[in-house]
Structure 1
């Protein structure tokens, strides 16, 4: 392989995949926000942090009292005190989805997964408590984080990839869900994680309608079509 072929096949595609503020404003902006809240959670006043996270939690009690605050607030925190894993998950899911579908559609998929999977999982919690299968204290269990949005983004991204990449993306998502079910079979996430990924998959038709060249590529495509028609 010559140096020119190496640049064309490996280096240039690799550089295009690196997130930048121009290509990935949503993914990088969200990561910056999560970095800020993670640092505050680690170094801020513990009582204030606990109070803010408690208000942001999407547990069943909060959803009945102040649903908008909890649904929006829960997506401002990471589950735990380590931010770097979310950098890599956003790099591999949200960022490529945004490059292919645009920032608004990436936000739509992320938000649909976060909100939809939260409501579904907490609905299951309420139903199991009402049926006596689960202790009532689960209604107030802390539930924050962005894993639903990330899994929905992975599911949505799969629909914009070719078959090998699609199989890899879906397989990675199923492996993550299976690992969680085996190592930490929590009722909320056991329902929410697969639901979030399925919501992303369900949005394939909407994402594919928005798929197409943008910016300079759109101009080149328009010029080519004009030449062919003439």
Structure 2
């Protein structure tokens, strides 16, 4: 027969054997050991055992206990995801970033067509898809969208890598439809503003009539608008101003040299539009209405309430 004593600091129940009155110090030591942790060694042989028939190893950390936080990988990393998870999120995927993924495939197809297609056929397609003054006067809706399906330049270049990284990062933060809206808004706004200026200059005799049919296509206006918009929704302040400073320096330097005045001014307008969209995009982020987990920031596992990580 014995006395069952429940200690306040753990679920351990100790059994203390009744002996002579001279055993009181041993009983006090056994009580203290039961309160401080699971028994081992001589204390276990003295009669102290875990309650409910649980194995002592489960109390010493070999298995999870109820209410404790789940394991999050390596110790000391605060539950941060491994590097390959971050690297994978830098590139578009069909489910995570459908707009960027499908648009990138379209640009790959049209660029291969321009590179390896028959020159006469390619020239005819580009002339019909150019958003110049002449085409805008005849079929504005078609050429405004068709002109964004062709890319000027090599398939693998710094600009194409920037296109993929910028649109992927923006779509993961604000969703596919809003990323498409920012891209289209930048493309339409810069194209219309520059081409209407060209039309006015031709009408005033400042530019020759051949300027009305000058090739006007590409993705640079939309990419610059998305890059400026991305700077407004990133959480790292240094990254925001690095984007603004780097891209802004490039845009302004092109305006100083004026290699292509129409395109260079269009770059500045598209970049300014992306910055002007910051309040709207930030308001959307504050509402927390981003598209599911694809646009949510990547975080490590969160500890359960009441556990070790609470």
Compute the TM-score of the two structures, normalised by the length of structure 2.
Answer: 0.64
Between Structure 1 and Structure 2, how many residues are aligned? Answer: 218
Whole-Å separation in 1 of the counterparts to 2:214 and 2:87:
42
Which of structures 1 and 2 has the bigger CA Rg? 2
Whole-Å separation in 2 of the counterparts to 1:185 and 1:3:
55
The yes-or-no answer on 1:31 pairing with 2:108 is no
Partner of 1:63: 136
Whole-Å separation in 2 of the counterparts to 1:109 and 1:15:
24
Q: Deviations over 1:82-104 (max 9, x none)?
A: 12224312223111110100000
Partner of 2:292: 215
CA contact (8 A) 1:31 1:87 kept: no
Compute the TM-score of the two structures, normalised by the length of structure 1.
Answer: 0.85
Three-state SS of the structure 1 residue aligned to 2:86 is helix
Partner of 1:152: 225
Runs of 4+ in 1 over 4 A off after TM superposition: none
Whole-Å separation in 1 of the counterparts to 2:261 and 2:202:
11
Partner of 1:5: 77
User: Which shows bigger deviation, 172-181 or 19-28?
Assistant: 172-181
Structure 2 unmatched ranges of 5 or more: 1-73, 297-301, 306-310
Note the C-alpha offset of 1:159.
0.9
Partner of 2:169: 96
CA contact (8 A) 1:117 1:148 kept: yes
Whole-Å separation in 1 of the counterparts to 2:79 and 2:113:
42
Whole-Å separation in 1 of the counterparts to 2:93 and 2:149:
21
Partner of 1:221: none
Instruction: Provide the alpha-carbon RMSD of the alignment.
Output: 2.5
Partner of 1:84: 156
